[in-house]
Every structure is written in C-alpha cells, then in structure tokens.
Amino acid sequence: MRIGELAERTGVSVRSLRYYEEQGLLSSERSAGGHRHYTEQEIDRVEYLQRLYSAGLSSQTILRVLPCLESPNGETSDAAFAHLVTERDKLREHIGGLTRTLESLDELITLNRARRDRLDEATPDVT
C-alpha cells in the first residue's frame, strides 16, 4: 500500500509517517518511481508506535525498545524492560508535579472565589 493509504488506515498523517521513517522507526520498499510501499504489518507497527508516543516516549526511547518487539530475546527484553521502567518512572514524576500544580491552582481558585464573595457582600446593592 502507498503512504496515503497507510495514513488513512491508521489515522496518522503522511507527515508523521515520513518522520517515523526518518527516525528509523518505520521502513518501506520503494517503487521504481520512488514511491513508498508498505505491507499490512506496517499498520500494526504504526499503531504500536502511536501507543508508545501517546505514553510519552520519545523517538530515541522507542528506538531502544523496538528490538524487543522485532526479535525478542533475553538481552533485548531486559534492555527494553529497563528503558520502559525508566520512562514509566519519569512519567510518574511528571504526573506528580502536574497533580501538585493542579492542587495549587484549585486552592488559588477557591481563595479567589471566597475573596470575590466577600467583596460582593461588602458592596452595597444600589438599585
């Protein structure tokens, strides 16, 4: 299939697919005219890449864990596991920071609302 069809079938932009190729995450065969051609297996690969990106992994991290997907063995599985644990821990730390920021904003909103209510109570209604 050509790049446009792969994009349509996976819901990923053509630009993203080209980026995946540039990063070494996706490969294609080239026709005599230079057009990219993909196999059905590339659909699963693109969907897998999308899940990894959605999880917050970078292209470089994905490159480190892909060997486990492509040719799992003790060495690649252990390395991929270590990278994934590291990334998970980074995400947990980031989520913790975001949670603290959210709690702080909620507190500021509550304080602001209380202050506005007091100001409204102190202002006489002139009607």
> Is there a contact between 75 and 65 (Cβ–Cβ < 8 Å)?
no
Q: What integer pLDDT is reported at residue 58 of this predicted model? A: 86
pTM over 0.75: no
Q: What CATH architecture applies to the domain 3-122? A: Orthogonal Bundle (1.10)
pLDDT by position in tens, the chain (length 127) = 999 999 999 999 999 999 999 999 999 999 898 889 999 999 999 999 999 898 888 888 888 878 776 777 777 778 778 888 888 898 899 999 999 999 999 999 999 999 998 988 887 776 6
Euclidean distance between CA atoms 88 and 61, whole angstroms: 12
- Give residue limits of the domains in the chain: 3-122
Euclidean distance between CA atoms 22 and 124, whole angstroms: 67
Euclidean distance between CA atoms 121 and 100, whole angstroms: 32
Q: What integer pLDDT is reported at residue 80 of this predicted model? A: 77
Euclidean distance between CA atoms 25 and 17, whole angstroms: 9
Containing H/E element for 58?
Answer: none
The string of DSSP codes covering 85-97 is HHHHHHHHHHHHH
Tokens for 113, please give them. 């609302």
Which residues, at least 6 apart from 28, have a Cβ–Cβ distance to it below 8 Å?
3, 21, 36, 37, 38, 42
